[in-house]
């Protein structure tokens, strides 16, 4: 799944480790999310959206037109 996580993190000047700490996940999870190799669980997606103050749809793109 495509996402804007890396861009949003970069805009804030956060390291992957800092974001991982904020989300209570490993840095490896953040790397996998940013590379599109791991789709977050729904609770994690909500946590990410709240952290960045944006709707889930503004961060994650499932590629489905509609």
pLDDT digit string (tens) for 19-33? 999 999 999 999 999
- Does pTM surpass 0.85? yes
Domain residue ranges in the chain: 2-52
CA 61, 62, 63, 66 torsion-angle sign: negative
Residue tagged 């990410």 (tokens): 48
Report the distance separating Cα 19 and Cα 48, nearest Å: 9
Question: Over 70: is that where the pLDDT of 66 sits?
Answer: no
Name the CATH code of domain 2-52 (choices 3.90.1010.10, 3.40.30.10, 1.10.260.40, 1.10.3720.10). 1.10.260.40
Contact criterion met (CB below 8 Å) for 12 and 22: no
Taking the C-alpha atoms of residue 17 and residue 60, their distance in angstroms, rounded to an integer, is 20
pLDDT digits (tens, 9 = 90+) for 40-54: 999 999 999 999 999
């Amino acid at each position: 799944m495509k996402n804007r996580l890396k861009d949003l993190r970069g805009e804030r000047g956060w390291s992957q480790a800092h974001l991982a700490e904020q989300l209570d996940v490993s840095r490896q999870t953040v790397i996998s999310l940013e590379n599109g190799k791991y789709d977050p669980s729904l609770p994690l997606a909500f946590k990410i959206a709240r952290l960045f103050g944006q709707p889930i749809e503004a961060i994650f793109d499932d590629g489905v037109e509609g």
